[in-house]
Structure 1
Amino acid sequence: MERNQLLDDIFWHTLTGAHACHASGDGGARRYTAGFSPILAFADSTAPDFAALLPHCAPGEHFYCENWTGAAPPGWRIEAETTMYRMAWAGGMPASDPAPDAARLQPHHAPQALELANLCKPGPFGIRTIELGDYFGYFDGDRLMAMAGERLRAPGLCEISGVCTHPDDQGRGLARQLIGKLVHRHQARGDTSFLHVMRNNEAAHQLYLRMGFVDYLETVVRVVAREE
């Protein structure tokens, strides 16, 4: 896939673009406002301006950020580090929506979505994350079995995020159907789907490759916390 400047720095372009209304920060640093996904973004990720974020972050808050290395800046600590793949759709237009029966999640589903995310740990997720795009799920009565939705975005690009299936419902292809539904919707409106997967989650990585995603880049991802 050809390089895309927006996709290279998608966290920054989202938090200063489509989701600026959900962001806090100054200068070259932004964060999602509390309640949304705990993500930080910087205009220059090789020299992140953490000092500009201090007034906007509470002691003890934890955040994900990408693409920087080195020692923790003053007032912060690094709690985890790994790498993740950013993968982009290259499979063409799906023939049809594979999940026409999936339910669109509504605001009152937020506690169920957060509970499932806390169980499955698909990545940074907050009580208001489902407000960032269209989220779909499968229910067994009132129980949310699986979900996937939209988060980061920029012109021509839309992320598929929050992909998870309850352990009791795995093996039924529910997450794959929901991903296919989102790809179908994105293709229909002219957007390229992309997603993130941690390097140690090789089963999911291989599934996405088989579906039609390709590796766009691999980047360092860290969990950082403001010191108390």
Structure 2
Amino acid sequence: MTSHVLDRPPLNAMLTRHSHLAVGGPRALRYRPDISPFAGMADDSDEALCDLTALIPESGVILVAQPEKQKVPPGAAAEHVVEVVQMVAETVSAPDEHVNFLELSDADAGEMLALATLTKPGPFAARTHDFGGYVGIRAEGKLVAMAGHRFQVPGFTEVSAVCTDPGFRGKGYAGFLTRLVAGRIMARGETPFLHNYATNTNAIRLCETLGFVYRTSLWVSVLRRA
């Protein structure tokens, strides 16, 4: 069966539109540590497995996302293996209510990291916002919701880091920002996609109401040094 570009989104992004954000290679790549812990292998050779181990920081982890569970390379151990649901949208309705939002930039980096640390939408580091496309909502003098981009492959861009401060949930901010970011992706002639933990049924249902449909399931392996 021919593989799809979305079957290994981190690897295929680093091989194409995100090559400037990647380190390692040619058999194994990872994003710069200050951007993301995601990594991937170009093949399943023993050499590639050893190269993947070399990309694991001494006191940190790397993540691999693909249709099958990652074979644990020599010198590494699997800390966690979780299933995620990948969804794509051919059509997304425009936001149906007006919410004051702002374009986020380097000046907001500290608040973005703080919000992601509080809400845990997925791995988020000091320069994750370099993926671009970030928008947010401020209330009571602070950033309370945001969404942006992550993996970008030919024809597709991921909507990611959708999160809301617990004290401001129930106001529709997540849906509004998801539709906003996805609509901008579609306006460029690309297809938006996203990932949710398979156990996060509430998030999956919300995405379905926004126009996203199930495409496939992936396994995310969290690898550390043994």
Fold in common (TM above 0.5): yes
Q: Once structures 1 and 2 are overlaid, which stretch shifts more, 63-72 or 204-213?
A: 63-72
Residue 80 of structure 2 corresponds to 80
Percentage of identical aligned residues = 32
TM-score by length of 1: 0.89
The 2-side partners of 1:148 and 1:74 are apart by: 36
Paired with 1:110 and 1:87, the residues of 2 have a C-alpha distance of 27
Query: Aligned with 2:6: secondary structure?
Result: helix
Unaligned runs of 5+ in 2: none
Q: Say if 2:159 and 2:178, in contact at 8 Å, map to a contact too.
A: yes
Aligned residue in 1 for 2:89? 89
Structural mapping, 1:90-105, within 5 Å: 90=90, 92=91, 94-95=93-94, 101-105=100-104
Counterpart for residue 218 of structure 1: 217
Q: What SS is found at the alignment partner of 2:167?
A: helix
Q: What is the aligned partner in structure 2 of residue 25 from structure 1?
A: 24
Residue 129 (1) aligns with residue 128 (2): yes
**Conserved 8 A contact 1:99-1:178:** no
Contact 1:15–1:32 (CA<8 Å) still a contact in 2? yes
Work out the number of aligned pairs and report it. 224
Distance 2:47 2:112 in 1: 31
Deviation at 1:226, TM superposition (A): 2.5
State the match for 2:64 in structure 1: 65
- Aligned-pair CA distance for 1:70: 6.4
Contact 1:147–1:178 (8 Å) recurs in 2: yes
CA 1:4–1:99: 2 relative to 1, 3 Å: farther
SS of aligned partner of 1:85? strand
Paired position in structure 2 for 1:163:
162
User: Retained in 2: the 8 A contact 1:84–1:197?
Assistant: yes
Corresponding residue of 1:202: 201
Cα RMSD between the aligned structures? 2.2
CA distance in 2, matches of 1:177, 1:101: 10
Q: Please, which runs of 5 or more residues in structure 1 have no aligned partner?
A: none
Q: 2: CA distance between counterparts of 1:140 and 1:48?
A: 51
In structure 2, give the amino acid aligned to 1:198.
Y
Question: TM-score when scaled to structure 2?
Answer: 0.90
What is aligned with 2:113?
Answer: 114
Deviation at 1:182, TM superposition (A): 0.9
For 1:42, the equivalent position in structure 2 comes to 41
What is the Cα deviation at residue 97 of structure 1? 7.7
Contact 1:45 1:66 in 2 (8 A): no
2: CA distance between counterparts of 1:39 and 1:183?
A: 22
Give the Å deviation of 1:46: 9.2
